[in-house]
Amino acid sequence: MRSADFSKAPRIAQAGAMFTGATRYNGIPAWITLSWTWRKLVKRMKAMPGYCWHTVYYEPPFTLGTIAYFDTRDDLLRIARSPEHRKLMQWITDGTKNAKGGYIRLWVAEPDGYTNGIWRAEGNVMAHIETYSPIRGDQGPQRVDDATSEIV
């Protein structure tokens, strides 16, 4: 059900900003060097106000990426000013000795979304919405219980 109150939802659902980024490293030796600073960076990040959650993902052959959630965009940006992050980014971008490429994207959450059951601040109700969120081209409300509203 639609909601703008995520106070009963898990911490990650309360986040207002998300970071996604990845780096294509040059191999195992680069990963070993990375690990020394990465552990310190994660320790600092977890202790910072506004930190919600993060995970690391792998894509062959040597790409490591991070997805991280914070309360606000400012909370997210503060980690970039830490000595650990500065040291790490200077090492990564020292020509192509350590990495071949990287990217960073920042996302800000819409104020509303959907909650159900125990995670619903407006009451413990499990129910679907009556109409889909509108998309370009809709001719009026599209009912969830009407099969003609499906996109096939």
pLDDT band of 7, cuts 50, 70, 90: very high
Nearest CA to 44 out of 11, 90, 75 is that of 75
CATH of 17-108, one of 3.40.50.1370, 3.40.640.10, 1.20.1260.10, 3.30.70.100: 3.30.70.100
pLDDT 10s digits, 87-128: 999 999 999 999 999 999 999 999 999 999 999 999 999 998
Reference 88, options 43, 138, 147; nearest CA is 43
Per DSSP, helices labelled H in the chain are 28-47, 73-79, 83-92
Query: What is the predicted pLDDT for the residue at 66?
Result: 98
Residue type, 111: P
Domain boundaries, given as residue ranges, for the chain: 17-108
Q: Model pTM?
A: 0.88
Q: Are the CB atoms for 84 and 63 separated by under 8 Å?
A: no
E-assigned strand segments in the chain = 2-3, 17-25, 51-59, 63-70, 99-108, 113-114
